[in-house]
Structure 1
Amino acid sequence: MAAEYLDIDLNFQHEVIAEMLRRERMIRDRANPFVMYDDLDFLDRFRLSKAGVIELMRIVGNHLDEGRRGIDIPPMMQLLVTLRYFATGSYLRLVGDSFGMHITTVSNIVKKVSRNIASQRAMYIHYPDERQRLNTQQQFFRLCRIPGIIGAIDCTHIPIISPGGQNAEIFRNRKGFFSVNVQGGLLLILACCKNSSVSEFYL
């Protein structure tokens, strides 16, 4: 009698767990960030607009396969996982949890997508020639009356999770949160017109 009850109870538990997993898989499959989030929420989570992600996908998508060992992860999902990792400064495991992926899968995706994005650098990062440098100096002089400027450097704080340990407070910035200070430069800036439009810039 007790054995029969245990068998029934265990079978019921297995059925409940199987149903929960089936529902979770359905929810996860339908969880499309482009549909789930409005434009502002999407930008907040991925640090790129929906149009920006689509454009980046156009550039790197052909270089992303759909995974190995029978795990089909569409190129767009790989890109979103990577952008989420970049945007949050979070741990791979936490990003994986939010997408329903194992930490190893997330690690492989981030590595692959990052390399593919970096491989396109020659299309977007280039240094000015002599004529462009002279033109930049002239435009900077017209803008701020300082001679000889060929570029400008700025920094931004990228939020991170506290690294922990004795030196964690080194990463706390003046605004009170943990961050890494990232530096970016503009080697050529064309002066802004009165209508605030900028026609060209070089990284």
Structure 2
Amino acid sequence: MAAVHRRRRRFRRQNALPRPRVFRDRSNPLETLEEEEIFQRYRFRPATINFLVNGLHEELKTDTNRNSPISPLFQVLLFLRFVATGAHLRLVGDSLGISESSVGRSVKAVASAIVAVFARLYISFPVGEMATKVKEGFRRIAGT
């Protein structure tokens, strides 16, 4: 009896049609949305988003075009939406039609790229007298 059941299951698998691949429309939200709507969704103006994409493009682009890769623009938009809303990866991906796992990889890649590219250019720690002033400011805030 068990052998008959196994044969039926194997027969169904062999004759099953493969699931068709779905390629979603990935039109540029920066071109289709109004500037205020972009700001509400991503917390940045289009000019700033383009600045980020241009600075991170080399770090985020893929070597091949296999399997319809996510463009650097979409990776930055996913990252900004995730950081702006704090929503789950699935919800962020649903807004642009991208899977949860791809959103996670994109968020990680963009965060690493920001650290690699922009940290050395725009982030600096105070030294000398300026460091002392900053420490005093934090002490005043803390009330000590």
SS in 2 for 1:149: helix
Cα distance in 2 between the residues matched to 1:98 and 1:67? 26
Equivalent position of 2:78 in the other structure: 81
Percent identical among aligned pairs is: 29
**Structure 1 segment 98-109 matched on structure 2, within 5 A:** 98-109=95-106
Equivalent position of 2:6 in the other structure: none
Q: Indicate if the aligned counterparts of 1:34 and 1:50 stay in contact, CA closer than 8 A.
A: yes
Cα distance in 2 between the residues matched to 1:129 and 1:87? 31
Q: Indicate if the aligned counterparts of 1:82 and 1:109 stay in contact, CA closer than 8 A.
A: yes
Equivalent position of 2:133 in the other structure: 149
TM-score, length basis structure 2: 0.68
TM-superposition CA deviations, 1:60-82 (whole Å, max 9, x none)? 11101238752321111111111
Q: RMSD over aligned Cα, in angstroms?
A: 2.7
What displacement does 1:128 show? 2.7
Which residue of the other structure, out of 26, 35, 51, is the alignment partner of 1:55?
A: 51
Indicate the structure whose relative CO is greater, using CA pairs within 8 Å and at least 6 residues apart.
2
Q: Indicate if the aligned counterparts of 2:26 and 2:96 stay in contact, CA closer than 8 A.
A: no
Equivalent position of 1:117 in the other structure: 114
What displacement does 1:29 show? 2.9
Which residue of the other structure, out of 66, 70, 77, is the alignment partner of 2:67?
A: 70
Q: Indicate if the aligned counterparts of 1:67 and 1:73 stay in contact, CA closer than 8 A.
A: no
Equivalent position of 1:143 in the other structure: none
Unaligned runs of 5+ in 2: 1-19, 139-144
Which residue of the other structure, out of 112, 115, 124, is the alignment partner of 1:126?
A: 124
Amino acid at match of 1:114: A
TM-superposition CA deviations, 1:43-89 (whole Å, max 9, x none)? 11101110111111122111012387523211111111111111111
Greater Cα radius of gyration, structure 1 or 2:
1
Cα distance in 2 between the residues matched to 1:67 and 1:92? 25
Number of residue pairs matched by the alignment: 116
Amino acid at match of 1:65: K
Unaligned runs of 5+ in 1: 1-17, 135-147, 154-203
Higher share of residues assigned strand: 1
TM-superposition CA deviations, 1:159-199 (whole Å, max 9, x none)? xxxxxxxxxxxxxxxxxxxxxxxxxxxxxxxxxxxxxxxxx
Structure 1 residues 126 and 81: CA distance shift in structure 2, 3 A: same
Cα distance in 2 between the residues matched to 1:99 and 1:106? 10
